[in-house]
Amino acid sequence: MELHKELYSSSEELFDLPSSTKLKNKSPKPFHGYIGQYSFIPLYESIGIDDAMNIENAESLANMMWPEKGNANFCKIISSFSQQVSELDQMVRRMVLESLGVEKYYDEHIESTNYLLRVMKYKGPDTSDAKLGLQPHTDKSIVSILCQNQVNGLEVQSKDGTWIEVKISPNSFIVMIGDSFLAWTNGRLHSPLHRVMMTGDKARYSTGLFSIPKDGYMVKAPEELVDEEHPLLFKPFDFVEFTKFNNTAEDHGCKSALKSYCGV
């Protein structure tokens, strides 16, 4: 897809900006999103745009990063990508709800979510042994849709604990279930633990579109999915409160965050 190529060249342009430009814009919070760098994983950099379907949010990021005249092309690509990938997200969610016989909740499901877009860069470590690019975690989202340039690195843990390298063909997408959908379906879906491991000298660029519950919306399994055979697994929770809890958890992003936060 042409869109993939355009997206990676835009990401390169963004991450190639001098780090002084990026860091200068980190604080006070200048746009609806964030700039992520962790001292414990030096290969990783990310930039997130909240509510990415609203082009003004991409524009405010672009105005920060390219103060001279913004970057109309960047905004166009981000917004077109978010639009198209959100259609895929909605298709997946419709299929899941239909397969569970609860499609009557589809409209409510879609109306109660926002889309967070995250562009990421992982530097090549210049080594043949694998270095950590992103720590193991489960996504807190409803659904996460990821795509990457030709450099692999994503690994997903199978239920028996083995890490499986994700090798996808060019221009395809990875669809992953997040903890919020696991909770909403009362455990019918699995949100896998995943991480990024990097080798070699090539940079990896990836982009994720994450559907997340809107502020104030309570994630609650519908009554049709709770019965004697499937007792309620998680108490209803507010997504923002859950992410706050997760961000301060000792084992940040850990698999058990959902259970410790609202497990019954």
Tokens of 165: 């390298």
Stretch 136-165 residues interacting with ligand AKG (CB under 6 A): 139, 146, 148, 154
DSSP secondary structure code for residue 127 in this structure: E
Measured from the CB of residue 210, what is the shortest distance to ligand AKG in angstroms?
7
Stretch 119-138 residues interacting with ligand AKG (CB under 6 A): 120, 134
Query: SS3 of 72, please?
Result: helix
Place of tokens 């950099």: 45
Q: Based on CB atoms, which residue is closest to Fe ion, 21 or 158?
A: 158
Q: End-to-end alpha-carbon separation of the chain, Å?
A: 44
Say which entry of Fe ion, ligand AKG, none residue 140 contacts (CB below 5 to 8 A, set by partner kind).
Answer: none
Measured from the CB of residue 220, what is the shortest distance to Fe ion in angstroms?
24
Measured from the CB of residue 70, what is the shortest distance to Fe ion in angstroms?
29
Q: Based on CB atoms, which residue is closest to Fe ion, 93 or 137?
A: 137
**Helix 72-99, helix 2-15: angle, nearest 10:** 120
Helix, strand, coil in percent for the chain, rounding step 5: 35, 30, 35
User: Contact, 48 vs 33, CB < 8 A?
Assistant: yes
Q: Based on CB atoms, which residue is closest to Fe ion, 49 or 62?
A: 49
Measured from the CB of residue 178, what is the shortest distance to Fe ion in angstroms?
8
The residue within the footprint of ligand AKG, chosen from 61, 75, 196, 257 (CB under 6 A), is: 196
Cis peptide preceding 28, ω within 30 of 0: yes
Question: Between the CA of residue 136 and those of 72, 189, 194, 251, what are the distances in Å?
Answer: 35, 19, 5, 10
Say which entry of ligand AKG, Fe ion, none residue 33 contacts (CB below 5 to 8 A, set by partner kind).
Answer: none
Say which entry of Fe ion, ligand AKG, none residue 196 contacts (CB below 5 to 8 A, set by partner kind).
Answer: ligand AKG
Is residue 206 involved in binding ligand AKG (CB under 6 A)?
Answer: yes
Residues in CB range of 195: below 8 A, 6 or more apart: 132, 133, 134, 135, 136, 137, 154, 155, 157, 163
| Site string (120-159) toward Fe ion, x via CB under 5 A | -------------------x--------------------
Name the residues that contact ligand AKG, by CB under 6 A.
118, 120, 134, 139, 146, 148, 154, 194, 196, 206, 208
